[in-house]
Homo-oligomer: A and B are copies of this chain.
């Protein structure tokens, strides 16, 4: 009775039920209760039942902050995306999240907003949470962010791109190949005056370069390239087609850096009575869910976004659980889906 185990302490704490409470109620040591929840097979059926009953009765929900701190495994995965609204990446995030959740991991979402400054801050915030893995949309070439990530030792998977020197794991495809193949595709269908409408992000830039190079290599005149800046809206697609036609009225094919821009171009073409694909062929990028069912259905470059998410989740989980990843770099490729606009 003079022992201190019933002593008031209580100047801190959230007041929530703890593992201690559960263990006390079940009449076992805290570690036994802990084992019931993490490796039930290592506890006798009787004790297991007692603990589970206590959990039920108290409505106990384990504090993963504490668990993560003690075990150095947060079961948190962080994902960085440039943007979430109408973004081609969300399919990837959705499957990433679903796969992670089923394996007992939680997703933290960060938006870099296409800004390097913000990305820097974001990475610091992320590392502070000690996630078991980090998912990056795109790749991270040199810079402070890359250094920090490397130093953190946290498993990283870069995606939606390819690079000879990934930080760690990589699941993507070649933007250069896409640009080249789209050019060949259009040329193969008799197009000769190629145009491009694109947002000014780095990946779209690489697609554009390869596209232009392939055109030149085929002996065509230089492509007409319209940069819409940061905006990826349907509206800027419309405006861009207008600008494109002004610069080069003879253009007979346009590669757009996103489906939304392509729909904008398509809309503008229709508004001007330009027939697609007869006078102008239009091809998008991303194959967002609804472009297949429009009239005319959009020809576009399909990326298996959900697949990227699933693979990335698998890799990250493997690494988090100490398993080796046999194929740390995967090229998931792409497909040009021909529909009615080419």
Residues of A within 8 A of B (CB): 12-16, 59, 61-66, 68-69, 72, 74, 76, 83-87, 90-91, 93-94, 97-98, 101, 104, 106-111, 113, 122, 124-130, 148, 151-153, 233-235, 238, 260, 263-264, 267, 270-271, 288-290, 292-295
Contacts and interface: CB of A to CB of B under 8 A. Distances in A.
A144 to B, nearest CB: 10
Contacts of A110: 97, 101, 106-107
Contacts of A64: 128-130
A314 to B, nearest CB: 18
A85 B289 contact: yes
Given A62-B128, A108-B107, A129-B65, A85 B91 contact: yes
Nearest to A235: B293
Contacts of A127: 61
Contact of A295 (B68, B111, B152, B271): B271
A65 B63 contact: no
Given A63-B69, A76-B129, A107-B108, 14 more contacts: A64-B128, A64-B130, A65-B65, A85-B94, A98-B113, A104-B125, A106-B110, A106-B125, A233-B290, A234-B290, A234-B293, A234-B294, A263-B294, A264-B290
Contacts of A15: 153
Number of copies: 2
Contacts of A263: 290, 294
A288 B72 contact: no
Contacts of A93: 84, 109
A163 to B, nearest CB: 24
Contacts of A238: 293
A239 to B, nearest CB: 10
A288 B233 CA distance: 11
Given A101-B125, A109-B109, A111-B97, A74 B65 contact: yes
A292 B113 CA distance: 23
Given A109-B107, A128-B61, A293-B234, A90 B97 contact: no
A293 to B, nearest CB: 4
12 contacts: A16-B130, A64-B129, A65-B68, A65-B69, A84-B90, A84-B93, A86-B288, A109-B109, A234-B293, A235-B292, A263-B294, A267-B294
B94 A86 contact: no
Nearest to A95: B85
A255 to B, nearest CB: 19
A46 to B, nearest CB: 25
A108 B108 contact: yes
A162 to B, nearest CB: 24
Given A66-B69, A90-B90, A61 B295 contact: no
Nearest to A124: B61
Contacts of A288: 86
A238 B151 CA distance: 52
Contacts of A122: 101
Contact of A72 (B12, B72, B107, B293): B12
A152 B61 contact: yes
B109 A97 contact: yes
